[in-house]
Structure 1
Amino acid sequence: MAGIDLSANMLGGEIPWELGNLRHIKSLNLSSNFFVGPIPTTFGGMEEIESLDLSHNELSGPMPWQLTQLSSLGAFSVAYNNLSGCIPNSGQLSSFSMDSYLPNTNLHNITQGDTCAAPGPDPAVGKDVEETPSDPVLYVVTAAGFVLAFWATIGFSFCHPYGRSVMLKL
């Protein structure tokens, strides 16, 4: 069997550990489902896998070190999950950009001192990722500005002589 694509099928629960017994599979796509729990450590036994996509689920827990044994892996993503701990810095997993791991806020790089560091923007991309502000004060000030501008326009249209002349011509 070359590959299994079960993406976007609304599957839930834990990923069956038995999938790791598929030693000769080339591609496994379980993205965009509702899988929870850890990534099965048995996935480290998929000796010939070239593409593994577990993104857009609700997976949690650490990255299994067994995944570092996947030497044929050319495409990999666990982005948009709830993973935690350190990203293994050995094997193929260290060759993938941070796009494969973001935005797992509790998943970190291993730095030179073998400690975890929060993932930052991918240096290969060459640009910082802008964060969307989520400050409620910003939203209130913006809304108040729009309301004020609206009423100032209405007031000008009816109270100022030029505004009245424009309105009378309509």
Structure 2
Amino acid sequence: MYYDGPLFLDVICVLQGFTFSTKGNIYTFSRSFYNLMSGIDLSANMLSGEIPWEIGNLSHVKSLNLSHNFFIGQIPATIANMSALESLDLSHNELGGPIPWQLTQMSSLEVFSVAYNNLSGCIPNSGQFSSFNMESYLGNTNLQNSSQGNQCSPVLGPMEVEDVGEASDDPVLYIICAASFVLAFWATVAFLFCLPFGQRVMLQL
């Protein structure tokens, strides 16, 4: 079962049975209903507020997509309790704070994105996080890469990475151009003054 629709998260996360009616019929679901859900897609529903910590109780869900909403606050560390989760998309929200280190314990996680939020701190580099590329973190100006010595460096966008590469190549390019110019100059001088044909050319000038 896969849920895709504008449903409030606090309703999903209260692990109790519930009853609703539609078209004159009454339907009752027990708490085991939540164990049947393999995915939840609440993207682009204009949802706001904080992501409730109870979301971690959905331990059978394999895919969670909360992207393109207006969620604020921090990423709940309890998401790490969703041990079956394979895909987590929290991109295009207004989430802040660091990425919880507890998420590195999620061994099943294969797809991850928190791009275009307001996250800060260091990107975890252990567990499955060592396999995620920088596209997962774009648009977080205060988020930094982990490096040797537990130091952090800012996450670069595609254009910034390209600029850095060009800047590092500039000194080498200058040296090559200068050396080529010097060699061409002295080769011309040697041709004009040392060879008979070059001497005749100079006399004609």
| Shared fold per TM-score greater than 0.5 | yes
1:106 to 137, 142, 160: 142
Shift of 1:120: 2.5
Aligned-residue sequence identity (percent) comes to 69
1:119: how far off? 1.5
Q: 1:115-156 CA deviation, whole Å, 9 max, x = no partner?
A: 11112357xxxx7289xxxxxxxxxxxxxxxxxxxxxxxxxx
What is the CA–CA distance in structure 2 between the aligned matches of 1:76 and 1:105, rounded to whole Å?
18
| Deviation sequence 1:72-113 (CA, Å, 0-9, x none) | 111110000000000011011121010000110100111011
Structure 1's consecutive aligned runs of 4 or more residues displaced over 6 angstroms after TM superposition are: none
The one-letter code sitting in structure 1 at the alignment partner of 2:121 is G
2:78 corresponding residue in structure 1: 42
Give the TM-score taking structure 1 as reference length. 0.71
Q: Greater helix percent: which structure?
A: 2
Q: Which residue of 2 aligns with 1:80?
A: 116
2:121 and 2:93 mapped to 1: Cα distance?
A: 17
The question of 1:29 aligning with 2:65 is answered yes
2:162 is matched with which residue: 119, 124, 128? 128
In 1, distance between residues paired with 2:100 and 2:69?
A: 20
Which has more radius of gyration?
2
Distance in 1, Cα, partners of 2:111 & 2:163: 22
Aligned to 2:190: none
Aligned match for 2:128, one of 88, 92, 113: 92
Give TM-score scaled by structure 2 length.
Answer: 0.59
Q: Which has the higher contact order (CA 8 A, sep 6+)?
A: 1
**Cα distance change of structure 1 residues 48 and 107 upon mapping to structure 2, 3 Å threshold:** same
Unaligned runs of 5+ in 2: 1-36, 165-205
